[in-house]
Structure 1
Amino acid sequence: MADRMLNFYIHAFSNLNVGGGKLNEKAPHKPILLLTVVQAYETGLLTDNQIPITPELTSLFKSNWNRIVTSGHTLGFALPFFHLKNEKGSWWELVANPGCELWVQYGRLTSFGNLSVAVAQAQIDPNLAQLLMDETTRQVLRGTLLDTYFPGQSVVHMALPAEEIDGLTREMVDESPTEYRARLKDLKTRLDPETYQIEIYTRDTVFRREVVRLYDDTCCVTGVRVSAPYSFSMVDACHIMPFAKTFNNHPTNGIALCPNLHRAFDKGAISVDEHYRVIVSDTFVENESSLYSLKSLAGTSINLPGDARYQPDLAAFAWHRTHVFRS
């Protein structure tokens, strides 16, 4: 059984639909993505048949692309991640985010921005996952990809791309909003649109991880916190001032909220005053007898991070009360 599965995937990996394209050369995108997936299993980044889109995965992809690809093709993560679902055997399937099912099924996700919005993760055949978790068969499949598409090339073993993620975290924490904004504007002028979208996605994910960590996975208003032996959180990282307006990803421009309060904050139904207390708009009607009514939260003091350097910026809350809150 194992030999039959391995032979199937040797054939599948060596006969990918890579086309010729405008450059009349085989496109390297799918092979690079699969080499990245192989590496992700090798380093422990992936441990089952689920392949989520993460900064670590995109970082490995960029590293492999820059090291191996010598043609004139433009780096692109979205197209191979999306189009691998069309390979014979249906061994790569996409799991849509809620509400995006038809988009994923019938649409064509050509940009990383669209991909990250519509797709939760890829799901590969469990048999393929087992092959990739075994060192011997993993090396066979890696060799198949290299020999078929990049003869003479090699992929060095590397650790998880923690150094790049740590560097982005330091930039986010140590630089002023003005410096950080200038850095992003410079990146936008230097990078192609796809790579820039990946950069913004990575930085946004780092912001969200850092804010949730600072608040110990706990909603700062309700105190809700749920622990589970798998990737699961009941809280979101919420920008106080929108990133699109300010390019401010500093943790002081964020708070941790459960999803319903995140939505209420973004829509202006609630805000926070100069004493870190919740204020509630009187412009809407709700069932106030409910234990979960928004108005029951009025006057609640929000919980703050223990490190005073990362407590939310009162000036940001003042901006939110002026521009978002419906008074």
Structure 2
Amino acid sequence: MAEFLNTYLNAFSKLKRATKNGIKAPHKPILLLAIIKSIELGEIKNNKIYITPELVARFKDYWKWLVRESFFSPNFSLPFFHLTNDYTRNRLDRFWHLQTYFGKEILLTSSHSIRSFSQLQESVQYGYFDDRLFSLLSNHDSRQIVSRFLLEHYFSGQKLYDNRSDLFESVTKQILHDSPVEYLHVIERADEEEVFIRSGVFKKVVPRIYDYTCCISGLRIVSGYDIQMVDACHIIPFANSHNDTISNGISLCPNLHRAFDRGLVSIDCYYRVLVAENFVESSHENGIKAYQGKRIILPDEESYRPAVENLDWHRVNIFKSKAQH
């Protein structure tokens, strides 16, 4: 095990990095540190490193804490892709690999770089390490050795804040407390990686505010597994509003989420359920129509409740009411 550890430490000391104005890019060691911390926290449980809001946010937090002066931007997609160019003993011994979606090809720029974050998401299902390396990183002692080595070798004298997630916490506060106008000013300046993070925070915050309960059916399932049984639903779709604030979100189980998005269900200004009439379901007793007129479950904090103007927009623009036919 010690021999393998030394092999990987040697490889990590020679990461290929772009140079600009005499400064080497910090992306790869920061990504490795972020992945290692995610393994330590149990966010990564097996050798499939998915592109998650948590991992991207941790990468950006680490960048903010470790990079003092740089001519580079904290672009997550670059190291996630280009780490495939690093190896241990020779070019055949790469320690980082990408699993693409079936039939998908990674399109590159003329400089052989990944085109964009969205292109990375569309093409790459997950990244993975050599089995030996992942085994080392799954062990507490060797994981600490690798983490300290990366920190000291590339960011000597700098410090990581283990129990902080500045970006996640900042976005959470904005979702809970910003007005839609204030939030729009922020989102207009956000790049696609930050929009991805914000979407992930929205999906976590809204169910938590509703106590992981579907606000229409009352379904609440809390599992010891990392499984969420209710969805965060935008009242006005994000594509129309760019609004992730809590007043534009409700918590719904998947079938009612789809019904709401497709206009079979809406909510009136008194928070009562409206159900479209022009569809047939097999069991009315346990079906969607049974919720007609029911008052939805609301958060105790009044400022977290759905904005009436957002519900109005949904009824006018999405709901398939009888008046539209």
TM range (shorter): 0.7 to 0.9
Does residue 1:298 correspond to 2:289, yes or no?
Answer: no
Per-residue Cα deviation, 1:289-309 (whole angstroms, up to 9, x for no partner): 476643344333322223332
The TM-score normalised by the length of structure 1 is 0.77
Counterpart CA distance in 1 for 2:305 and 2:235 is 12
Per-residue Cα deviation, 1:163-192 (whole angstroms, up to 9, x for no partner): 43223222222222112222333x34xxxx
Indicate which of 203, 206, 209 corresponds to 1:211. 206
Per-residue Cα deviation, 1:49-108 (whole angstroms, up to 9, x for no partner): 454444443233224434337553333101322444566556545567xxx5433x6556
Question: Is the Cα contact below 8 Å between 2:51 and 2:126 reproduced in 1?
Answer: yes
**Gaps (5+ residues) in structure 2?**
87-91, 109-113
Name the counterpart of 1:110. Answer: 115
Counterpart CA distance in 1 for 2:19 and 2:68 is 15
Does residue 1:58 correspond to 2:53, yes or no?
Answer: no
Name the counterpart of 1:191. Answer: none
Name the counterpart of 1:131. Answer: 136
Name the counterpart of 1:273. Answer: 268
| Aligned positions of 1:78-227 closer than 5 A | 78-84=77-83, 88-89=92-93, 91-92=95-96, 101-103=102-104, 110-116=115-121, 121-125=126-130, 127-142=132-147, 145=150, 150=154, 153-185=156-188, 187-188=189-190, 196-227=191-222
Name the counterpart of 2:306. Answer: 312
Question: Is the Cα contact below 8 Å between 1:237 and 1:255 reproduced in 2?
Answer: yes
Counterpart CA distance in 2 for 1:203 and 1:240 is 16
Name the counterpart of 1:262. Answer: 257
Q: Which amino acid aligns with 1:10?
A: L
Cα displacement (A) at 1:320: 0.3
Counterpart CA distance in 1 for 2:295 and 2:102 is 40
Cα displacement (A) at 1:223: 2.4
User: Number of residues paired by the alignment?
Assistant: 310
Question: Is the Cα contact below 8 Å between 1:288 and 1:295 reproduced in 2?
Answer: no
Question: Is the Cα contact below 8 Å between 1:265 and 1:271 reproduced in 2?
Answer: yes
Indicate which of 225, 230, 251 corresponds to 1:230. 225
Cα displacement (A) at 1:247: 2.8
What is the Cα-based RMSD across aligned positions, in Å? 3.5
Counterpart CA distance in 2 for 1:14 and 1:102 is 35
Name the counterpart of 2:89. Answer: none
Q: The residue matched to 2:266 in structure 1 has which SS?
A: strand
Name the counterpart of 2:244. Answer: 249
Q: The residue matched to 2:103 in structure 1 has which SS?
A: helix
Q: Which amino acid aligns with 1:215?
A: Y
- Residues 203/266 of structure 1: CA separation in 2 closer, same or farther (3 Å cut): same
Name the counterpart of 1:68. Answer: 67
- Residues 259/123 of structure 1: CA separation in 2 closer, same or farther (3 Å cut): farther
Counterpart CA distance in 1 for 2:47 and 2:158 is 22
Counterpart CA distance in 2 for 1:302 and 1:259 is 16
Question: Is the Cα contact below 8 Å between 1:43 and 1:160 reproduced in 2?
Answer: no
Name the counterpart of 2:32. Answer: 34
**Gaps (5+ residues) in structure 1?**
189-195
Q: The residue matched to 2:232 in structure 1 has which SS?
A: strand
Q: Which amino acid aligns with 2:115?
A: T
Counterpart CA distance in 1 for 2:253 and 2:211 is 13
